[in-house]
Chains A and B, each alone.
Chain A
C-alpha cells in the first residue's frame, strides 16, 4: 500500500483529502505545516512506513510548501511532490518551477484528478525503479563477466609467455664453432611459430634439420619441442635421415592427440667425403648454389609428410660438394609469400622459381649479406604482408 503524506494547514481541506485518498486504498498521513511534513518524511525514511509521495499546500505556517520543497531537494530525499496551488500564489509557483518542481494542481480540483495524478506518478516511479534494478543487474553481470575474462586472459597470457620463451629458446641457434658457415632468418608470424631449425656438428661435418609444423600457434610450437628432442637424440646416434624421420613420425603420432602435419628436410654434411645427403619429408626442395656454376639447382627429393601416416617412406639424395658451395633451404611460407594483384584480386606468390631468381641475382655477395639481401627481397616481394611463418637458411662449405 502506497503511503501518501498530505501537508495542508486548513483542517477541513486536510480531512477531505485524507478521506478521499483513504477511500481509494492509500495509506495517508496528514500534517498541518511544512516542518511537520519534513519531520515525518525524515523519520520514516528507511522504515516500512516510508512516504511514497507528498501532496503539499504552498502557504502554510512554520514552513511553507516552497521551503519544504527546497529542503527535500537539499536533503536529497528523492520523493515525488505534488504542489497544490491557489489564486495569489502564482509568484511562488514560478520559484518552485525554477527549483525543478513539475507537478501542480490548481485548487479547487476534483478528487479524481488528484488520485489519477498520484497513481500516474507512482507507476512511473515503479517503472523507473524496475528499470534501474535491471540496469544494475545487467551491469553487475557484465562486470563479473568482464573480470572473469580478464582473469582467464591473464592466465592465458602467462601460459603464452612461457610458451613464447620456450619457442624462442628452441629456435635459438648456437652457431659458434660450426663446421660450416651459416646465415639464416626466421620470422614467425606472431611470437609463436611452427618453424624449427637446428644445426649440430658431427665428427665428420654437420647434421641439419628444418621442419615446418602446420599452423603457427601454441600447438605447433609445442610440436617443435618434440622435434628438437628427437633430432638431438638422432644426431648423437648418427641415424640415417630415413631412420630419423621414421622415428620422428612414430613419435609425432604417438605423442600427440591431434594429427598435425609436419614437413621437414634433413641434411647431413660429410666434409671428409665432401658429400651431402638430403632427405625430405614432403618439404620444399633445397637449392644448391655451386661456386663454379652460374645457375642455382633444385635438389628434387621427395618423401611422405610426417605426423599422420603410419607407413612412411623418404628419399635421400646424395650430392658432391666443393668449398664455397652453398646449400639453401626454407619453409613453404617463403614460396607462398606474395601479394594480391590489384586488378585480378588473385594472390601472386613468390614460388620456388621466384626465389631461385632472387638467389641467382644475389649470388656474388658474401654469405651474410647474401642472406640479408635475399631476405629483404623476399619480404618486399610480398609487400611485407606475411601470412605464415617464414624461415630461410643458407650454409656455405668452408
Chain B
C-alpha cells in the first residue's frame, strides 16, 4: 500500500512497512521540493531515507501489515518539518546520546546522531514512535567584493562558518593582493561567525597590519553578538567597528 497526498504546503505518505517504497518516497519528496523551488539536496534525502527506514525496520519490525506515515511540510522560508510515525512500540529516547558513533558503519541509536548533525531540531513523542525533525536548506554564503570610491568592501551573503572557510580565505588573500589600505567588511547579513572564521579574520588582520601598520580594517553593520565577540577576543584592536 502506498498512499500519497499533497498540496503546495505539504506532501504526506502512508505506506506498508516495505523498504521498496523508500526510493519512491524520496523521489516524490524531491518533486515536492522542486515545486517549492528547491533543488535536490543530498542531506535532505539522507535524513528522509534514515527516518523512513527507521520507521519500517525498527518501528514496525518490517511487518508489512503495519503502516508508516511520513509528512513533509513547509514551516518557513527554506524550512521543512519532517514527521515520521510508525505503528511500533516506540523506544526510550530520553537517554539518547547524540554523540556521533566512533565507527560510521555502526548504526547506533537508529542513525539519530547522524541526522542530528544535519537538522535544526529533533523531537520525539513520549512513546517514541513518532519523530519530528526540522530541516533547513541553507544557501551557501557568497562573498560580494566591490570597489566603491577607493574602498574595497567585502559583503558576505550569510554566516561565515568552517564549511566555507576555504573560499573566505581565498577572498581575504585576494583582497590583500589588491594593496588597498581601505578595506571594509559589511556584516549586514552575518548572524554568526564560528571560531574557524574568527581565526581567518585574525590571521588576515595580522598580515594586513604588516602591510599597513597604521590602518584599521573597518567593520560595518555587525550585530551585537559579533561586536561582543570582537571585544572579548580583543580582535577590535585591528578592526574598527562602526554602525
Contacts and interface: CB of A to CB of B under 8 A. Distances in A.
A342 B134 contact: yes
A214 B165 CA distance: 12
Given A261-B198, A282-B234, A340-B136, A347 B191 contact: yes
A212 B136 contact: no
The range of chain A's interface size is 35 or more
Interface in B98-133: 98-100, 102-103, 116, 119-123
A346 B191 contact: yes
B192 interface: yes
The range of chain B's interface size is 35 or more
A286 interface: no
The secondary-structure label for the interface of chain B is: mixed
B134 A190 contact: no
B123 A345 contact: no
B42 interface: no
B79 to A, nearest CB: 5
Contacts of B231: 302
Given A190-B99, A339-B120, A384-B122, A345 B233 contact: no
B232 interface: yes
Contact of B121 (A189, A215, A339): A339
Nearest to B199: A261
Contacts of A345: 76-79, 136
Contacts of A190: 99-100
Nearest to A301: B232
Given A261-B195, A282-B233, A332-B195, A215 B162 contact: yes
A385 B116 contact: yes
Contact of B196 (A214, A282, A310): A214
A271 B146 CA distance: 58
B76 A342 contact: yes
A215 B195 contact: yes
Of B103, B121, B196, B199, chain A has the most CB atoms within 10 Å of the CB of B199
Contact of B120 (A261, A307, A310, A385): A385
Contacts of B179: none
Contacts of B196: 214-215, 261
B232 A282 contact: yes
Contacts of A284: 232
A249 to B, nearest CB: 12
B206 interface: yes
B120 A340 contact: yes
Contacts of B79: 342, 345
Contacts of B226: none
A190 B231 CA distance: 30
A259 interface: yes
B75 A342 contact: yes
27 contacts: A160-B102, A189-B99, A191-B99, A214-B196, A215-B196, A261-B195, A263-B195, A282-B234, A284-B232, A285-B232, A302-B231, A308-B199, A308-B203, A308-B206, A340-B120, A342-B75, A342-B79, A343-B76, A344-B76, A345-B77, A345-B136, A347-B192, A383-B121, A383-B123, A385-B98, A385-B122, A388-B194
Given A189-B100, A302-B231, 17 more contacts: A164-B102, A187-B99, A188-B99, A189-B99, A190-B100, A191-B100, A191-B102, A259-B199, A263-B233, A307-B199, A336-B192, A344-B76, A345-B136, A383-B122, A385-B116, A385-B119, A385-B122
